[in-house]
Amino acid sequence: MSDITLFTRVDKIKGFDLNLLLTFEVIFIHQSVSRAATHLRVSPSAVSQSLTKLRHFFWTLFLFVQAGAWWRPG
């Protein structure tokens, strides 16, 4: 791996918001964006925005997928 690639990855990690991992965990536990929002005391829109940021960071659209009324890890 070249030094440029390594430094780019390190810089990207330095800019990562660790609160997004908490949001991920709460969605994982509750399997619902609405209930995760209630638990975190934020709006469902804020949880959805955090999930979008996670998707962009990890380059995947399927962190969670909707299964009926519930959300489960993709």
CATH number of 8's domain: 1.10.10.10
Full residue range of the structural domain in which residue 44 is found: 3-73
* pLDDT in the model for residue 63: 66
* pLDDT in the model for residue 19: 92
* pLDDT in the model for residue 68: 78
Write the CA distances from 13 to 28, 63, 72, integer angstroms.
22, 18, 25
Chain segment 18-53, per-residue pLDDT in tens: 999 999 999 989 999 999 999 999 999 999 999 888
How much is the pTM? 0.68
Q: How many structural domains are present in the chain?
A: 1
Q: Quick one: pLDDT band at residue 5, thresholds 50, 70, 90?
A: low
